[in-house]
């Protein structure tokens, strides 16, 4: 599903990744952890094709991403759902309109996904808020709406960047349970987080593994934290 082969990334004179190689199979659940600024968000951006490595190769769904044309990149991104840390909503649109944005942007017939949207809002517990605007939602409600938006096109890969960073513990567990449900349905989930308590809880719910970013490398761990 996701493969890095000797991937290197630099920002100015600072190396974030230096010759990183890893392979994440389809249907897996991985947390990405590490100190602030270590490169958690950068790792997700590489997986979403928002940035390219300076050296090495990223493969997604068995294809070398650097060889993809514009249309092929667009097609691949339809298979990837992203939950951004800042949610990135359009504040003048309703919750339902924001959830439908990926379909609108990719030219999918809204009628084909409208029923799915209603089911997703019910799944994340926001059916009664579908006509509200994002500024009217709590932090937890925004994160759940962002998750619904990320999966509106039924992607195979879910990338979540600190999805529980701005919510309380109870809401963190609700969001975690939604991610676990997605994984149990066959989706590959990669979640960046600094919250080790959340990772410990996840290990009681799903066979989650941990990718630790350390000293410009990535270590795969299955041990308890």
Instruction: Tell me the average pLDDT across 149-171.
Output: 93
30 against 166, higher pLDDT: 30
CB 83 within 8 Å of CB 161:
yes
pLDDT at 166: 82
Q: How many domains does the chain have?
A: 1
Residue 170 pLDDT > 50, yes or no?
A: yes
The verdict on residue 6 lying in a domain is no
The verdict on residue 15 lying in a domain is no
Residue 224 pLDDT > 60, yes or no?
A: no
How do residues 128-146 score in pLDDT, each as one tens digit? 999 999 999 999 999 999 9
Q: What is the mean pLDDT of the chain?
A: 91
The H-or-E segment that residue 7 falls in is: strand 2-11
pLDDT at 65: 93
From residue 42, how far is each of 7, 105, 192 by CA, in Å?
A: 12, 24, 10
The verdict on residue 93 lying in a domain is yes
pLDDT at 82: 95
Residue 114 pLDDT > 50, yes or no?
A: yes
Q: Which of 77, 79, 31, 68 is nearest to 210 (CA)?
A: 31
Q: How crowded is the C-beta side of 5, counted as CA atoms within 13 Å?
A: 9
The verdict on residue 131 lying in a domain is yes
Residue 12 pLDDT > 90, yes or no?
A: no
CB 180 within 8 Å of CB 29:
yes
The H-or-E segment that residue 219 falls in is: strand 217-221
Domain of residue 133: give its range. Answer: 89-154
At which residue do the structure tokens 């003048």 appear?
A: 92
How do residues 71-82 score in pLDDT, each as one tens digit? 899 899 999 999
Residue 223 pLDDT > 50, yes or no?
A: no
Q: pLDDT confidence of 113, banded at 50, 70, 90?
A: confident
The verdict on residue 121 lying in a domain is yes
Residue 222 pLDDT > 70, yes or no?
A: no
pLDDT at 117: 85
Residue 168 pLDDT > 70, yes or no?
A: yes
Q: Which of 8, 25, 5 is nearest to 17 (CA)?
A: 8
Instruction: Tell me the average pLDDT across 84-90.
Output: 90
Eight-class DSSP state of 186: T
The verdict on residue 218 lying in a domain is no
The verdict on residue 78 lying in a domain is no
104 against 64, higher pLDDT: 64
Q: Express as a percent the part of the chain with pLDDT over 90.
A: 75
Tokens of 105: 């942007």
Instruction: Tell me the average pLDDT across 51-75.
Output: 93
Phi, psi of 161 (to 5 degrees): -105, 105
3-state secondary structure 68-130: CCHHHHHHHHCCEEEECCCCCCCCCCCHHHHHCHHHHHHCCCHHHHHHHHHHHHHHCCCHHHC
pLDDT at 225: 42
The H-or-E segment that residue 43 falls in is: helix 40-48
Q: Alpha-carbon distance 19 to 39, whole Å?
A: 14
Output the DSSP codes for 140-167. HHHHHHHHHHHTTT--SEEEEESTTTTS
How do residues 199-221 score in pLDDT, each as one tens digit? 999 988 888 999 999 989 999 87
pLDDT at 112: 72
């Amino acid at each position: 599903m996701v493969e890095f082969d000797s991937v290197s990334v630099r920002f100015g004179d600072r190396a974030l990744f230096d010759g990183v190689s890893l392979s994440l199979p389809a249907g897996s659940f991985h947390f990405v952890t590490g100190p602030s600024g270590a490169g958690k968000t950068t790792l997700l951006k590489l997986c979403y094709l928002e940035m390219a490595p300076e050296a090495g190769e990223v493969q997604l769904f068995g294809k070398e991403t650097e060889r993809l044309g514009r249309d092929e990149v667009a097609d691949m991104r339809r298979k990837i759902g992203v939950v951004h840390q800042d949610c990135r909503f359009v504040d003048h649109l309703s919750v339902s309109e924001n959830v439908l944005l990926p379909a609108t942007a990719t030219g999918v017939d809204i009628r084909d996904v409208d029923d799915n949207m209603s089911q997703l809002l019910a799944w994340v517990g926001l059916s009664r808020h579908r006509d509200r605007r994002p500024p009217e939602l709590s932090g937890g409600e925004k994160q759940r709406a962002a998750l619904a938006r990320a999966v509106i096109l039924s992607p195979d890969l879910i990338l979540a960047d600190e999805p529980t960073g701005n919510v309380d513990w109870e809401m963190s567990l609700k969001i975690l349970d939604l991610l676990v449900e997605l994984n149990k349905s066959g989706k590959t989930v990669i979640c960046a987080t600094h919250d080790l308590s959340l990772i410990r809880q996840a290990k009681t719910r799903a066979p989650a593994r941990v990718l630790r970013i350390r000293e410009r490398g990535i270590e795969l761990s299955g041990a308890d934290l």
